[in-house]
Amino acid sequence: QYRMSVGWGKSHFDAGYGEHGGAMQDDKDDGALALVKDGLVDKDRIAMFGWSYGGYAALVATQRTPQIYQCAIAGAAVADPEKSYYGRRGTDTPKALDDWAKRRGMIGWNPIKNVEKANIPLLMVHGDVDARVEYYHYTDYKAAMEKAGKTNAQYLTLKGADHFSRTLMFDHQQSLYSKMLDYLKNDCGPGGL
């Protein structure tokens, strides 16, 4: 488990503070490369997929160098942690909680500020009534990618979908999984996966 995962002790959790998009991302890459080294995965057939924080990690994966992934799928991704922090910050938030949230939002990699570094295909998916990771993460990121001239991205809005899988109705799931399978087959890296 990458640092800041729960159940692995305080030092493992604390090692993730300020490391969003840094050492926490290195852990994911190291895990993928260990599977390649052990002969379990073809190095030319690796994709990153994640939802929520995992969606954030997928966006960061598109901006890494050296690049080990052929593509990424970012679902309900936290694309602008700084904006999220300022949008949720309250005057009555206890200092310890505010400090923790500030570190997550203000320290580490911010994908929306680094769109010019995107170097692999991306599929971005988001529900338009997501109350956990607001829809602006999707619309702002899409606009930033288009402004930067990045044309290797595709976007899918799940109309009426909230954040959690229990809110994804049959039509949402059909759209999501059909798009993902098509994307992986046809648009993920040279020749698809």
Q: Are 70 and 120 in contact (CB under 8 A)?
A: yes
User: Across residues 50-60, what is the average pLDDT?
Assistant: 97
Query: Is 6 within the bounds of a domain?
Result: no
Residue 70 has a pLDDT of: 97
Entry field: residues in the chain = 193
CATH of the domain at 172: 3.40.50.1820
Residue 91 has a pLDDT of: 78
Query: Is 51 within the bounds of a domain?
Result: yes
Query: Is 61 within the bounds of a domain?
Result: yes
Query: Is 5 within the bounds of a domain?
Result: no
In the chain the first and final C-alpha atoms are separated, in Å, by 25
Query: Is 29 within the bounds of a domain?
Result: no
Query: Is 20 within the bounds of a domain?
Result: no
What total of structural domains would you count in the chain? 1
Residue 101 has a pLDDT of: 72
Distance, CA of 132 to chain centre: 14
Tens digit of each residue's pLDDT (9 = 90 or more) over 148-173: 999 999 999 999 999 998 889 999 99
Residue 85 has a pLDDT of: 85
**Count of other CB atoms within 10 angstroms of residue 10:** 7
Separation CA 152–CA 123 (nearest Å): 9
Whole-number average pLDDT of the chain:
92
**Count of other CB atoms within 10 angstroms of residue 167:** 15
Query: Is 28 within the bounds of a domain?
Result: no
111 preceded by a cis bond (ω within 30 of 0) = no
Query: Is 15 within the bounds of a domain?
Result: no
**Order of strands, sheet of 71-75, starting from the edge strand that comes earlier in the sequence:** 47-51, 71-75, 122-127, 153-158
State the DSSP code for 40. S
The token pair that represents 65 in the structure block: 């160098």
Domain containing 97 equals: 44-186
Nearest partner of 180 among 158, 148, 163, judged by Cα: 158
Separation CA 48–CA 29 (nearest Å): 9
3 state SS of 51: strand
